[in-house]
Each structure stands twice: as structure tokens, then as C-alpha cells.
Amino acid sequence: MKSWLLRAFRLLLSMRFQVVLVGLLAVLLAGLVYMAGRTGQDEFIEAREALEAVEAVNLRLDGAVSWSMFEFQMDFDSIADSQSELNQSVEHFYSMVPNASPALSEAVKAKMVAMEDFKTTQSVLRNSRDIASSLIAQLRDQAERAGKDVSVIFPLERDFLNFLSRRDPQSSAILLSTVEQIQQSESWLTSEHDWPVLKNHVLKLVDFVGRIGQVMMAMYATPVPQQIDALLAETENHLTQANFIAGRYRLALFIVAITLLLFSVFMAGRARRYLRLIQRSNDELESRVALRTRELEEVNETLSAEIAERQDVELQLNMARKLEAIGQLAAGIAHEINTPAQYVSDNVAFLEGVWREVEPLLSDYERLVQEGRVDENDSRELLSRTDLPFLRHEVPAAISEAASGLRQVSQIVLAMKTFSHPGTDGIQPADINSALESTVTVARNEWKYVAELTLNLDPELPAVPCDISLLNQVVLNLVVNAAQAIGEVRGDEGGGHIQVSSAQQGDHVEIRVTDDGPGIPKGIQDRIFDPFFTTKDVGKGTGQGLAIAHRVIQQQHGGTLTVESSEGRGATFIIRLPLHVAECDPSELESSSLHEPGNHETGEFAI
């Protein structure tokens, strides 16, 4: 029971239920409004008004009839108007209340019939009166013409007028008697043909005056007003009833409206509370979002600081790697330079010694010439003081070797310059062949003790779009690896072979670095490009060289770096570079390398 109540209460509180309730109330309200309009109140009021109009018209008609009767008006227009008005208003009433009692209609019809009687009677009266009046007036003229005393006519005139104004039986009787007297006394009148007419009309007048009263009475006797009253009373009754029902509806309407209003207020209150609640949770949410955003921003800042730091460290690492690479190369290059420096210096020392030896001879010879006593013995003596065949053989050789040594030094220095600083950054068309020559020269000291190196360069090779400085390092890496691989099997005995070649293959350029070292076992061929994979002893290599080389060729140049090798038969590393940069957008590559921290390493790398 309790749980049922609780459930009902919960239902009552639930928003959905409240919405449904409001809907029901609204429907009820609308129904009530409709029903209140259907009580017939207005119709009854209109019906009453119609009835009242009928009553008014009826009265007017009666008035018009009375007026017409007393005034003897020949004109029945106002009566006819009122008649039609009455008919119309009655019709109007019945059209509104078709099921009203037909008694009124019948009464009106009866009245109309009576009205026709009246009008006929009235017309006869009027006609007779007019004729009689004019005949009485003619009587005076007749009397004068006949020379008779006019005064005999006077009683007639007086009584006629009296009759006309009084129209009662007494004056009628007087008039009739007067007429009889005159007819009796004045015979001359009777001869006149007008008299009978006059008399006839007077009789008629008297007759119709008496009749018209009856007609009027009959007309008045029609129960029109009674019927109107009856209907009015009925209508009034209906109206009262309708008013009562309407009052009930209004009361219900009021109650429902109040309920709805209260409920709406309640709901508005709840809504406001909800709204406040939502607002509050919204605020809370916002503040939490703000807090979270701030936290995220802080994390973001920390992260970017860390990224910056990482980039810094990477930069330093790259720098260190570059320095390491330079240092490692530098020892070799120093040796490459020190060797010619040694023999240039020795040859120059030799030439210096030769000059020291020859100069006194020349001075002595000069002295002998000046003294004008150059004889054969002296000359022989001079010549015997030096080993001319030796000098003839060695001095030109010394000069040419010194010169070649200097050339070699400058060649190495130039190659170093070309290798390390090509003067361009990023992807630019470059002369691959000269780059390969420089790289091989720079790395000479790394391979010359273990192998002979042949360059097999395609002289027709077009300029290849590449980052030449990076490519140099990749090739250097491959050459050094090749030399180390050969060194593994041959030690310092030498006799290995390395071939570096370039060739165009359709829309690609291929650079091959081939060695006859131990080769790469099948098992690890697909791992040699992995970072940190190395077979070298600890401290000999970081295992990064090939991984970085692979990335440089693939990601920065859109090319490929592959290896072909069978164990015991050496290895060939193949770099394929596209001739058309369109295959890889350098800007995209650059940006990707900028955003990918790992790619920083591709900038430089150690050997």
C-alpha cells in the first residue's frame, strides 16, 4: 500500500506525468469553452429580441390602424409597411426558433385577415364620406340656385359633421332623422337625382360606421399580443435555464483554469528549480571544464617544454654524432694528408740539400768564368764534386713528387669541403658522380688498407634531385661498412674489392656499393636496416648507420635502399633515387621530418 502511494507520488512528481496532466487540463479547458458556447443563451436572447420586435411592430400596426380609422386616411401605406414588417419579424422569429409554438403565427394570420376586412370597410367608409360630403356641399349650391333658403341645409351639415366626428349610434340616429326630415320637408330635393345617392351613402356610412367598429374589435381580438407574451415567457424560461448551465460551465472553466494556472506556476517553479539546477551543474561543468582545460594547458606546456628539450637534446646528439663522425674521419684524413706532407717535406729537404751542394759549385764556376780561365781540368774538378747522374735522376722526380703530394693534399681538402659542405641545403639537383668521387676520396683511409676501390660512374648521368650532403653521408656509411666487412675476413692483408657505381635506370638513378666481404646471412638481411641492429663489437658501431641511411633515402628522397647478398659472396647495397621530385614532395617530407622527432636524426648521422 505504502509502496503504491510512493509510486503514485513519484509518478506525480515525474516530469512526464506533469506534462501529460497539463495536456489533459488544457483539453478539458478547451472542451469547457466549447460547451459554454453551446448553451443556446445567445439564441434565446436573439429570439427574445425578435419577439420584442414582433411586439413593437404589432403595436405600431395597431396604432396605424387606429390612426387610419380616425383620420379616414385613404393611404394605407404605413399600415401595409407595418403589416409586412410584422410578417417579416414573425418569420424571423420562427426562422430562429423553428420549433416554437405556431400559435403566434396563426394569430398573426388571423389578424391579417381582420386587417383586410378593416381596410375594405375603411375604404367603403372613406368613399361614402367623400361622396356624401361633396353632395352635401352641392346641396347648398342647389338651394341657392333654386332660391330656396339655404338654412334648411344647415342641420344636415351640422349633424353630418357631428356624425363624422362622433361616429356613435346617437349621432347616426340624429343624422338619419335629419335626412328624413329634410326629405320630408323639402321635396324639391328629392327630385334631384343626387339626393338618393346622398341618402344611400349616408345610410351606408351609418351602416359601415357601425360595422367598422366590429371589424376593429375583431382585429383587436386576434390573440397576437397574448401569443407574443406566451412565447416571451417561454423564451425567458429557456434563457434562464441556459444562463444557469452557462454559469455551471463558467464555474468549471474557472476551476480548471485556476488549476491549470496553479499547476503551471508549480511547473514553472519546478522548471526554474531545474533550470537553476541545470544552471548550477552547467556552471560547475564549466568550471570543471575550465579547470581541466587549465590542467591540459599546463600538461601541454610541460609537454612542449619537454619536446623543446628533447629537440634540444636531439640537436646536441646530432651535433655530437656529427663531431664524432668528423673526428673519426679526421684521423683518417689527417693520415691522408700527413703522408703526402711527409714526402713533400722530405723532397723539399732533399732539394734544399741539393741546392746547398750545387750552389758552391756554381759560385766557383762563376768565379772561374769571371777570371776567364775555364779549362777542362777545373771543369772536371767541379763536376766531380757532385753526383750529376744522381741529381739528374732524382731532382726532377723529387720536384714532381712534391708537386703531386701537394696536389693530393689539395684534392683531399677539396673533397672534404665538397663532402661536408656542398653549399646547398635540401633537395637540389646535384652531380652524383662528383659527390661519389669526393666521398670515396674522403673515406680513402678507411678502405685503402683492405681493398681496392673502383669507381664505375655513368658519364651520361643527369643531375639528380637530392640532398647531396645527406646522400654523401649515406654513401660514406656504405663504403665504410663495405671496408669493415672486408676487413672482417681479410684483416689488414688487403686484397678486397669495393666497387662504387652509378647508372641511370629509366626514371631512376641507381648507386651501387658492392664489396666482396663475408656477405650478409639471409637470416638478418631484413633486420640490418632496423635501428640499433649491429653485428659489430661494442664500441665499434652504434647500429644506427644503416637505419638512418635507410630513412634518409626512403623518407627524404622517396627512393629505396636495398641489399643483395649471399653469405660468403659479398654484398651490394643499392640506392635508387627518383629523377623526378614529383614522386615525393620535398616540402612535405621536410615538414614531416620536422614534426617527427625521430627524423631529426636523419639530418646527420655517425658512421
Interface residues toward another protein, by CB under 8 A: 331, 334-335, 338-347, 349-350, 353, 390, 394, 397-398, 401-402, 404-405, 448-450, 492-494
Please, which residue, 308 or 323, has the CB nearer to another protein? 323
3-state secondary structure 466-487: ECHHHHHHHHHHHHHHHHHHHH
At residue 550's C-alpha, the angle toward residues 436 and 597, to 5°, is: 120
- Report d(CA 275, CA 268) in Å as an integer: 10
Q: Which three cell numbers stand for residue 53?
A: 420586435
Instruction: For another protein, give the closer residue by CB, 252 or 341.
Output: 341
Per residue in 36-45, is it b (16+ CB within 10 Å) or e — as a string? beebbbeebe
Our CB check for another protein shows the closer of 68 and 347 to be 347
C-beta of 263 vs 449, nearer to another protein: 449
Half-sphere exposure of 136 (CA within 13 A, CB side): 25
Q: Which phi and psi angles does 565 have, rounded to 5°?
A: -160, 145
Q: Pick between residue 215 and residue 344 the one whose CB is nearest to another protein.
A: 344
Which residue number, 55 or 446, has a Cβ lying nearer to another protein?
A: 446
CA 161 vs. chain centroid, Å, equals: 103
C-beta of 70 vs 390, nearer to another protein? 390
3-class DSSP assignment, residue 235: helix
Q: How many residues does the chain have?
A: 607
State the residue for C-alpha cell 495536456. 23
**Nearest distance in Å: CB 528, another protein:** 27
**Which CB sits closer to another protein, 117 or 394?**
394
Residues paired with residue 45 on neighbouring β-strands, in sequence order = none
Query: Which C-beta is closer to another protein: that of 347 or that of 473?
Result: 347
C-beta closer to another protein: residue 279 or 345: 345
Which letter does DSSP use for residue 457 in this model? E
In 372-387, which ranges are continuous DSSP H helix?
376-384
Please report the sign of the dihedral spanned by the C-alpha atoms of residue 82, residue 87, residue 92, residue 97.
positive
- Shortest distance in whole angstroms from residue 298 CB to another protein: 38
CB of 606 to another protein, least distance (A): 17
Task: Name which of 87, 335, 107, 327 is nearest 225 in CA terms.
Answer: 107
Total Cβ atoms within 10 A of residue 46 = 16
Q: Shortest approach of another protein to residue 339 CB, angstroms?
A: 5
473 touches 605 (CB < 8 A): yes
Q: How far is the CB of 411 from another protein (least distance, A)?
A: 14
- Cell numbers representing residue 513 in the block: 656499393
Beta carbons of 117 and 212 less than 8 angstroms apart = no
Q: How far is the CB of 395 from another protein (least distance, A)?
A: 9
Strands 428-430 and 464-466, sheet pairing? antiparallel
Q: In DSSP terms, which residues pair with 276 in a beta bridge?
A: none
Q: Residue 87 — left, alpha, or beta (φ > 0 → left; ψ -120 to 50 → alpha)?
A: alpha
Q: Spell 504-514 as b/e; 16+ CB within 10 A means b.
A: eeeebbbbbbb
Pairing of strands 451-457, 496-505: parallel
The residue among 53 and 348 lying less far from another protein, judged by its C-beta, is 348
The Cα-based distances of 168 to 164, 174, 205, 434, 501 in angstroms read 9, 10, 11, 161, 162
- Closest to another protein by CB, 306 vs 493, is 493
Smallest separation (angstroms) from another protein to the CB of 398: 5
**Nearest distance from C-beta of residue 505 to another protein, angstroms:** 35
Do 43 and 246 form a contact (C-beta atoms < 8 A)?
no
Q: Closer CB to another protein, residue 387 or residue 526?
A: 387
Q: Compute the C-alpha angle 307/309/315, nearest 5°.
A: 100
Residue 327 CB, nearest distance to another protein (Å)? 10
Instruction: Provide the minimum distance between the beta carbon of 475 and another protein in the complex, in angstroms, as a whole number.
Output: 23
Q: Give min distance, CB of 380 to another protein, in A.
A: 22
Q: How far is the CB of 503 from another protein (least distance, A)?
A: 30
Minimum distance from CB of 492 to another protein (Å)? 5
